Amino acid sequence: RVGAGTFAARTGGEEFALLIFDATAEDAMAAGERFRKAVASMTLDLGSGPLSVTVSLGVALIADGDSVADVYSNADAALYHSKVKGRNRVSLHNAAAGDGSALRYRIYAK
């Protein structure tokens, strides 16, 4: 369930997009972290025993002049960063930091 001003959609096999309107980077990261923690705290019982699940998230903000493809690509890059850094985390794409910057991503981790 998502709140007012938010749109969720499935974009691929195991990938989903969540659009949060009028959110700051801090708002978006906090929302991602709440979602990550909620998923990690759940246990699924599929009949063969309990199964724990985690999620990796990538966050990107829309900047002036960005196309939908730009934002999606930036969020996908942040998602990849979360996966490479150990999964079960939220990474923020910071376009202003540039491609080579070590400060490009802000990460919330386990």
How many residues does this entry show for the chain?
110
SS3 sequence of the chain: CCCCCEEEEECCCCCEEEEECCCCHHHHHHHHHHHHHHHHHCEEECCCCEEECCCCEEECCCCCCCCHHHHHHHHHHHHHHHHHCCCCEEEEECHHHCCCCCCCEEEEEC
Q: Give catalytic residue positions.
A: 14
